[in-house]
Amino acid sequence: MTTTLFGRGKSSPGRVTARDAALRTGHATGRGGDALLLDVREPHEWRAGHAPGAVHMPLAALAAGAGLPAGARDRRPVIVICRSGNRSRRAAGLLLARGVEAVDVIGGMRAWAACGLPVVDAHGGDGTVA
């Protein structure tokens, strides 16, 4: 079993806290991070509020076999987030099966917002977790 940057084996996706995700993506430091934040919620959830700089791709599209969006294809590792952590766990497993180093955020966007991390709406204003 090969160890990944997240310290887990490649046979199952690892999990990180919202704070750890923010550190890896640069949200907690204000500088660019080494990981991509991929939000797999539905479009209406994304529009209501998401992490700035995150890439959006609904789980349904990922499950249907769609590849990562163009801006995300060459960025690794991938930290997957949803509302509470259920969909992101599934998405991380799908990505891992495709050879993408991926983990999911425990507690999802709810945990992200609870940590006081930034959430913006579709227009760049203050967002909410829907």
Catalytic positions, please? 82
Helix (H) or strand (E) segment spanning residue 14: strand 14-16
118 phi/psi in degrees, rounded to 5: -65, 140
- Distance in angstroms (rounded) separating the CA atoms of residues 108 and 23: 15
Nearest-angstrom CA–CA distance, 63 and 69:
14
Q: In this structure, is the dihedral angle defined by the CA atoms of residues 106, 89, 83 and 7, taken in order, positive or negative? A: positive
Structure tokens at 123: 């227009």
DSSP letters spanning 50-84: B-TT-EE--HHHHHTTPPPPGGGTT--SEEEE-SS
